[in-house]
Amino acid sequence: MPDGDGIADRRHNADRREATWHAFLYGNFRPRRRLGRREADGHLYLFDWYEPRVLYLALGVLLLSCIDALFTLNLLNHGAAEANIFMASALERGIDGFLTSKISMTGIPLVFLVAVVRRKFLGACSVESLLQFFCAGYLLLICYEIYLFEFVFDLNIIFDA
C-alpha cells in the first residue's frame, strides 16, 4: 500500500536478524566481507574470512603445544623438573589440571590472535608475524626436548645407538 508520497511500504514482519543459525551457516560457507570497504579501514574491522595460512599457523601452534605437553609429561616421568612456575603449580593439581591449563593457555589467546590477525602488534609487526614467531618458538622448544630425551636422559627416541 503506497504511503502519502506514493512509495509502497516494503517492510516485512519477520526480523531477519533472528535467524542466527542460518546466518552462521551462510556466513561460514559464503563469507561476504573479506576486506574493508576502504584501504584505510582494513585494520579496524573483524572479518568473517581469513586466509588458510592463518588457520594452518594457529593449528600448528596448538598442535606443537600439545606435543610439548606430552614431551613434558614424559620428561617428568624420567626425572626432569618443570621450569615454568605456572605449569608447575598446575602439575600440583594433577595431570588433568596441567593439560587443561596448558591447552587453554595456548588455545584461548590463539582464538583472539586469529580474530585480529590483520592488525599490528605494538605498532611494529603484524599479528601474523607474531603467530609465526610462536610457531618457531614451539619448534625450538620441541627440538630442545628431543635433545633432552636423546642426550641428557639417554632415552633414544630418535637415534638408535
CB 47 within 8 A of CB 118: yes
| Domain around 153 | 52-161
Residue 139 lies in a domain: yes
Contacts by residues 112-121 (CB-CB < 8 Å, ≥ 24 positions apart): 113/58, 114/50, 114/54, 114/55, 114/58, 115/46, 116/46, 117/50, 117/54, 118/42, 118/43, 118/47, 119/43, 120/43
Region 121-143 average pLDDT: 91
Q: Is residue 13 part of a domain?
A: no
Any domain includes 30: no
| Residue 20 belongs to some domain of the structure | no
Confidence of residue 28 (pLDDT cuts 50, 70, 90): low
Work out the percent of the chain whose per-residue pLDDT is above 90: 45
Average pLDDT value over all residues in the chain: 81
Would residue 19 count as lying in a domain? no
**Residue 31: its pLDDT value, please?**
60
Is pLDDT above 70 for 51?
A: yes
Q: Is residue 71 part of a domain?
A: yes
Q: Is residue 146 part of a domain?
A: yes
In the chain, how many domains are there? 1
Residues for the chain: how many in total?
161
Query: Any idea which of 2-16, 32-46, 84-98, 102-116 has the lowest mean pLDDT?
Result: 32-46
Q: Which three cell numbers stand for residue 116?
A: 585480529
> In the prediction, which pLDDT does 104 show?
96
The region of weakest confidence among 11-15, 83-87, 100-104 is 11-15
Q: Which long-range contacts (CB under 8 A, 24 or more apart) does 67-72 make?
A: 67/142, 68/102, 68/138, 68/141, 68/142, 68/145, 69/98, 69/99, 69/102, 69/103, 71/142, 71/145, 71/146, 71/149, 72/145
What is the reported pLDDT for 37?
59
pLDDT, one tens digit per residue, over 65-99 is 999 999 999 999 998 899 889 999 999 999 999 99
pLDDT band of 62, cuts 50, 70, 90: very high
Q: Which residue has the higher pLDDT, 10 or 137?
A: 137
Mean pLDDT score, 97-125: 89
